[in-house]
Each structure stands twice: as structure tokens, then as C-alpha cells.
Amino acid sequence: MQKINLDTYCSLPFVGFDHRVKHVCCWTAAADTSGNFTSFNQCVKSDTIRNLQQDLLAGVKNKLCQTCWDQELVNVTSMRLTYLQNKNTTTIQEEISRKRLKHLVIDSGNICNLSCRTCWPESSSGLIKEFQEKSKKFNVGSFQDTIRHVDLDRFTTEDLESVETVNVLGGEPFQNLNHLRLLEHIIKIGRSSQCRLFYSTNGTVFLDARVKSLLEQFKTVHLSLSIDAIDQHFEYIRTNANWHDTLQNILDLMAWSTSQLKVSLSGHPTISCLNVLYLEPLFEWYSLNDLLWTPVFCESPKEYSFRIFQPHQKDSIVTRLSRSKFNVDPIIKQLERSTFDEQALSAFYRQIQFTKDYKKLDAALILPELLALLQI
């Protein structure tokens, strides 16, 4: 039997492939300068990933996985730990020896109905025109991007006989329904009853009966809701969304999950400088609706990260968070680890002024506590 160090072992370098970035996962792709891969088999057989596999088995914290090590340092459930859940030694040994695709992440395209403050045009078509205007206003050179439709037909030639999870990202995946062809293929080869679906969704798109019926043919369906705030704070961060309409749609999704036990929902808020002072009502909302939540932190764009806060301002936020009845320890630790960046603060002021002019959303009216804190 292969010796395994579970403190560092991760399934993804052995049985995972992220179609968006053509790599083991999005974090390794961002850290790897050697290039991406055209297929899962090319990926797991490459020298780079073979070396990564050996390091993780031996207990070496390879730098390609630094994002997960950082998340685990502040007690956030990392991607590595997420894919290890409910796996025993026998399952892990099988992953190491067989190296067949089990965990697939797909890019459904960048069509999106929102233009969220902490997002990019590569992930949201709603931001393309806005970023073009920014590039002119701030004289940063021409900005080029297009609406991206992703051809997933090539996956019909991949070996999906062992696939266990498909994670569908976007854009907003329920506005990018071409990906349903891949799900139909998994149903056709008889694998859907053993495959779990995971969606990251902004919760604003109504699912018709046809889509629901298709998803219900899979083992389970989990919808991770990107809800970072409520009411007007939600509408500022998740620009173009309407909180009342979104809430009504989420109630429909909750009703679906009640009628179909295989369907579940949770929260996946992006924690940034824009919502860190407004988290208590959000967590109350999650609690009232029996939704578990797991945070992810905004690091880029840096003007919306914790790097805009000076040490005494961070202390003030920590004091405020410490009074929460919810588990905000990971958020406090992330704050304490952050380093003030004056350029990030300058960019923050430029961006909120641009948002006021371009989107008619005034941070001074919507986020007054945040702007007051920055003046202390």
C-alpha cells in the first residue's frame, strides 16, 4: 500500500480536472508557470503534477497549493479538505493507483445577469462594457473581452465512467445552459445516479421544470448561493440584482429542496471590505433559513480586499466582529493577516466614485459606516 500523509494529501492532483483553467484546480493553475494541459490524462501524467503528487503523499506542502495552506491556517475549509470529506483509506488508495477522472469542474461560460463589484469580465459578461469604460477613464490601455460560450462536447470523448462530482461554474451557470449537454451525456452513459452536481449560483435565475427534472436524475444536487449581504448592501455588491426578487427565487429553490431530498442549498459569501461591517444581518438571514455558509475572501481586485484597512481600523473591525454570536474566527484571522496597501486604498476611492457615476450607486449613502471608518 502507498504511504499517505493525510495532513497534505489532496485528491485533485490524482483524480481532478478543472476545465476552466485546464489544470488540477484553479489555485494550482494560478501558481503554476509551466503551462496548462489539454486533457485530464495529460495533466496527471505531466512531470509537474507527478512531482506535486509525490510531495502531497510525503507531507510536503508544495507551493502550488499555497492557497489551501493559507485557508487552512485561518480555519477555513479549503478545497483540499472539501474533496477529502467522507473518503476512507481504501478510496484514497484507489485514487492513487487508478488515476481516473472523478472530480470535474466545468466552465459554463461568462454570460451573467449581474455585474458584481468583486468580479471580472472573464467571469461576467455584465462587466465587459463597464471595464471598457474604466480602461478609458483611468488610462490603463484598451480593454478587450468578449462573451464566452464554452464548447463542452469534447468531454464526450473523455473517460467519464468514474466521474463522481461535476462542479458547474460561470458566469451564472443557469444562464449558460449549453452545459446541460454534458449532463445529458453523463445520464446517457448511465453514470448520473452515482454523480453529484455542485452549482455556484447567484440565486437570481428561476429554474423551470425541464431543468429541475434533468438535475434530479443525478445522485444529489447542491446549490451554493453567492449571497454576500442583504437588502441594499446586497444590491450594491451584486450590482443589477434586486434583493426582493432574489429572495423570492431563493424561496422557490428552498421549496424544491424540501420536495426533493437529494437537493440542498448553502451559502458561499465572498467576504470583502464592502460587507465586513454588514455581516451580522447576513448571517442572521442564513441562520433563519437553516443555510450553512462557508466564506471565501476577496483578494483580487485588491481595492475590495482587507488591504485597504490600516492597523487601527482592523482593530476596530475585530472588536465589532468579536461581539458576533456566529463563528467569525476565520474572518478575524484573515483580517489580522492582511497588510495595509496604500495603493489599494487609493484604488478603492477611485472605484467607488466610478460606481457612483456609472451605476448611480453611492457608497456614501449605502455604506456610510465603511466610509466613516476609513476616515478614522
pLDDT of 277-331, one tens digit each? 999 999 999 999 999 999 999 999 999 999 999 999 999 999 999 999 999 999 9
Q: Are 53 and 13 in contact (CB under 8 A)?
A: yes
pLDDT per position as a tens digit, 1-21: 788 999 999 999 999 999 888
DSSP 8-state assignment for residue 23: B
Give the phi and the psi of residue 165 in degrees, each rounded to 5: -140, 140
Length of the chain equals 376
pTM for this entry: 0.91
- What pLDDT does residue 19 have? 87
Neighbours of 19 (CB within 10 A): 22
- What pLDDT does residue 139 have? 77
Between CA 307 and CA 298 the distance in angstroms is 10
pLDDT per position as a tens digit, 322-351: 999 999 999 999 999 999 999 999 999 999
